[in-house]
Every structure is written in structure tokens, then in C-alpha cells.
Amino acid sequence: MFSLALKNILFYKGRSITTVLLTFVSAMLFVVYVSMMDGSHKSMLENSLKIYTGAIEIYKKEYRDVGGNEYLIKDVEKITKKLELINGVKSYTTRYETYGLLSSKENSSASMIAGVEALKESEHSSIQKALVSGKYLSDLSGNCLYMGDGLVKKLKISLNDELAFVGAASDDSFAADIFKLCGIFKTGSFGFDSTSSFVSRDYFDALMYADNKASYINIKVDNLEDVERIKADIQKALNDDTLEVLTWKTLMKTMVDAMEVDSIFGYISLALFLIVIFFVIMIYGFVNISSRIKEFGVLESIGLSNTNILKLLFYEIFILTSLAILIATPIAASITYYYTQNPIIIEGISEMYKDYGIVSDEIPFDFNPFTIIWNIGVIYLLNLISIIYPYLYIKSFSPIEASHHV
């Protein structure tokens, strides 16, 4: 049957070429498009993640939903001691975040001010790397403020200018102080850069009565893939119902969901193309076979069973599909690999979409052999399904009817 299938393919060139071409196109489309989609999502997520959010964060329950000083973590040391014993936790740092009003001579603006452990913070987030002028913080930087460039612009200040701060301390009492702008950063995340400032915890704790307290604890892990296991270990070790341990998947849920919606739309568009192509492949297969009904009739008369006919159709479509895939896969894989290493750059896209949290002008692709394999698998499946109707059509004829078919 196999050699007969081969000969049929070579003989009926129209159908063969069309099927191979269409399969080739759909395979390329599928692999490249999915790779681009996955890549851009991954990069959006990663870019946003490494700016400030942690792989895992520990909160007092209700802090995220309700907020306020009532839900601060009040005995930080007790928790951090336990964290040191957990396998997979690379390091941790604590943050005390509050909102206040910062005023310069010219202007005032709201700001999130976070007291951070300067050295550790530089390893947990990218704020130090984002330094554009001045200095980053240290444990001794006192009332030095490290501010996002968007906020700096809003307040119309420059390095070494003084700012008045007004806010509430951890016991709800009134807090006020004078800060000095020592450093400016730009992460590229518009929202973050225009609303955040950082100060050393050593200094801030005194002002805020925040010693041994934290808004939350930010944890860095050895391996992101392990994050669920580590979270479970932490929960067990802490054994405290009033605390919640969250992974980045929950913390960045909004973005994760948005990616999913985007993916859904992407797959729907792809599905449209694949369905149309599927129909045409089936039509060509059907037309080819229905014009050979007499031939099949004779073959059935001399003893060719239905199983053999199915085998024949299967071999034909399998050979055609494999040929197309064999050519398409290396090309598609190379394209996706190339653009993984050399992302497409659309200048200005991050500026245009900054409100959506797009940070970079790069659109990297995602090269994932597993994804490519299941993509190809789908194409194979569709092509194989395309012979079902033609096969049923042949089966509906008895050998005699088929031989007399006009």
C-alpha cells in the first residue's frame, strides 16, 4: 500500500502540490505566530516582574485587600529566622511601604515611599540597576531619597534638592520630615517611575516607628520553576494562619490574565486560518478520491479490503504532510530561534503602550521545542482528520456501485 500511495502522490500532482503547500504554510504560520505570542508575553511578564515584584512575597492577611497599619507584619524577625532554613529560598528582604505627600519648592505630589534594606534590595529588584544619576542608597544614607525620574520631573527638582514629606506613621500618628534627593532611577515602567521613592530602612524605621515591622517580605528563589514547592514549604514552616504566602502568579495576576486573554484571541485568529486550510486540504483530497471511485470499485472487487483502502489514504496524507513538515519545521524553528536571540525592535512601542505597562521596545520570540512539537502535532492531526470524509464516501459504495460510477 505504501508504494502505491507514493505512486499516487507523484501521479496526481495537482492535489499533492496543493496539499504540501497549504500544510507548509499553516505549519509555518502556527509555529512562528505562537512563538511570537509566547515570547512577547513572557518578556512582558519578566520585565515587569524583575522591576519590583518578588517571586514570592509574605503578607499579613487582609493587607492587600483592606490595607492599613492594622495589617502590617509586626514581628519580622520571627519570620525571617524561619526563612533562612528553607531550601530554595535564595534571599529575602523586607520593605516598609507607605504613601505620603512630597513637596518641593515648586510642586507637590503623592508618592509611594518605601523603606528598603539598600544592599539586599539591590539584589531583589532592579532599582539600583536603573540608576541614571546621583547615587543609590546605602544603609547609612540617612534621609537620602532615591526617586523615579517621572516623579522627579513632576516635582521639578534636581539632585540635592530638599523635599518635605508628610504622611502617617505605623501607629497612625502624624509623620513629617525633610528628605534630600540623592539619586534618580528610570526602570522604564512608567507607572513605577512616576510614583515611587526609596529611602534606607534604618532611617525610615525611626521616623515611622517601623522597627521589626514590614508591609511585606520579598523573597528571591534559586529557581523560578520551583516556586510552588517553595511556597508550600514556607507556609508549613511559618505555620501561621494570619499570614499569606503568595507567588508572582497571584501578585501579577492582572497581567497574567491579560496575557491569557491576548493568547485566546491569538489562537482564535489562528484557528480561523487553520480551519480554512483544513477545508481546502479535505476538498482536494475528496475530489481526488471521488474521481477514482471506479478504480477503487475494481480494486475492491478483486479483493482490496476497506482496511487497505484506509491504509492507502492514510499513507498518502501522511507522506504529503510529513514532506511539508520536514521542510517547514527547520525553517520555522530557525526563524523563531533567530528572533529569540535577536528580538524584533519596534521603536517607540514602549512609549506608546506605557500605560499598559510595556517596558521595552523589543519583541522577543520564544523558542520552545515542546511548543513547536505540539504545534506540528496539531497540523498532523488536522491533516489526518481530512481523510475521514473521503474514506466514508468510498465506503458508502459497494464494489459494484463503485465500478459503475459515472
Partner 1 sequence: MFRLILKMAWKNSFLRLSRTLLVIIMIAVSMSMMLALQGLYDGMAENMLDKNKRSDSGDITLYAKDYRLNPEIKNSILDAQSIKEDIAKMNGVKAVMMRLNADGLASTARKSSFASIVGIDLAEEEKFGEFSEFLNSGALNFSKRGALVGIELAKTLKLRIGSKVIFSTQDASGEINSIALRVRGIVQTTNIRLDNFAIYVPREKVSSFLALNSTTATQISISSDDETLQKTLQTKYSQLDVKSFFELQPMMQMMQDMMVIFNSITFFIVMLVVFIGILGVMYVSILDRVREFGIMLGIGMRYKYIRLQIILESLIIGFIGFVLGSIFGVLFLYYLGVYGLDLSEFADAMQSFGYETILYATIKLSYFTNTFLAIMMASVLSVLLPLRKIKKLNPVEVIKAQI
Partner 2 sequence: MIRLENVNKYFYKGQAREVHALKNINLEIQSGEFSLFSGASGCGKTTLLNAIGALDTIDDGAIYLEDKNITLLNDEQRTQLRLDEIGFVFQAYNLVPVLNVYDNIAFIMKLRGFKQDEIEKRVLEVATLLEIEHKLDSLPSNLSGGQQQRVAVARAVASKPKIILADEPTANLDSKNSKNLMDMMRTLNEKEGVTILFASHDDLVMSSVDRVVLLEDGTIVSK
CB of 398 to partner 2, least distance (A): 8
**Of 110 and 400, which has the nearer Cβ to partner 2?**
400
CB of 17 to partner 2, least distance (A): 16
CB of 77 to partner 1, least distance (A): 25
**Of 172 and 211, which has the nearer Cβ to partner 1?**
172
301, interface contact from partner 2, partner 1, none, CB < 5-8 Å by kind? partner 2
CB of 277 to partner 1, least distance (A): 6
257, interface contact from partner 1, partner 2, none, CB < 5-8 Å by kind? partner 1
**Of 140 and 298, which has the nearer Cβ to partner 2?**
298
Where does this chain bind partner 2 (CB under 8 A)? 4, 7-8, 10-11, 294-295, 298-306, 308, 398-400, 403
CB of 320 to partner 1, least distance (A): 14
Gap between the Cα atoms of 390 and 100, Å rounded: 72
**Of 133 and 269, which has the nearer Cβ to partner 1?**
269
308, interface contact from partner 2, partner 1, none, CB < 5-8 Å by kind? partner 2
CB of 2 to partner 2, least distance (A): 11
**Of 7 and 61, which has the nearer Cβ to partner 2?**
7
Where does this chain bind partner 1 (CB under 8 A)? 14-15, 18, 22, 65-71, 98-101, 103, 107-112, 154, 156, 166-167, 194-195, 253-258, 260-261, 268-269, 271-273, 275-277, 279-280, 282-284, 286-288, 290-291, 352-353, 355-356, 389, 393
148, interface contact from partner 1, partner 2, none, CB < 5-8 Å by kind? none
